[in-house]
Structure 1
Amino acid sequence: MQQAPHPYVGMWVTEDGHVRHHLLPCGRYDEARGKRQSSYQGRYWVTGNHIDYVDDTGFTADGDFADGVLYHGGMVLSREE
């Protein structure tokens, strides 16, 4: 039985477009910074409105979703339309 994608799946970007988090339905993410694609990659999981990240080197980070915004590491990311 396959689980439906989480409602936060998709592309999240900072206002200036510099940082882009692509949350994939398989539980992986791909983060781009500036012109550099795939700056960081790893897995993520969401519990309620909280997201935890572990990149492929073992670095961990987290964030929170509130009112359609992702707050992560001092950044504010909105869902890309």
Structure 2
Amino acid sequence: MERLMSATHPYSGLWITGDGHIRHELLPNGRYVEARGHRERAYQGRYEIHGNHIDYKDDTGFTADGEFQNDILYHAGMILIRA
């Protein structure tokens, strides 16, 4: 398993939907914060990256995943681009 521990990892940073409503901040310590609209911390938890695949587990136990392709994050029916 590859865990993000470096700010220089190609997938760390902020990812947003085209309308800016959903924002995922992938922190270099393996944590993420998801903002939705005006809710800056709608969800937060841990993530792990395996190749181009990301697995999320929020602090309530909910899990989700996604794929990075051509500098786009596909997650739960959403398309997020690097901010």
- TM class by shorter chain equals over 0.9
Identity of counterpart residues, as a percentage? 64
> In structure 1, what is the equivalent of residue 6 of structure 2?
4
C-alpha RMSD of the superposition: 0.9
Which contiguous aligned blocks of 4+ residues in structure 1 show a shift greater than 6 angstroms? none
> In structure 1, what is the equivalent of residue 70 of structure 2?
67
SS at match of 1:12: strand
In structure 1, the gaps of 5 or more residues are none
In structure 2, the gaps of 5 or more residues are none
Which of 38, 45, 48 is the matching residue for 2:41?
A: 38
Structure 1 position 18, deviation (Å): 0.2
The C-alpha deviation readout for 1:25-74, integer Å capped at 9, x for no partner, is 00000000001110000000100000000000000000000001000000
Find the aligned partners of 1:16 and 1:37 in 2 and give their Cα distance.
15
Q: Residue 28 of structure 2 aligns to which amino acid in structure 1?
A: P
Q: How many residues align?
A: 78
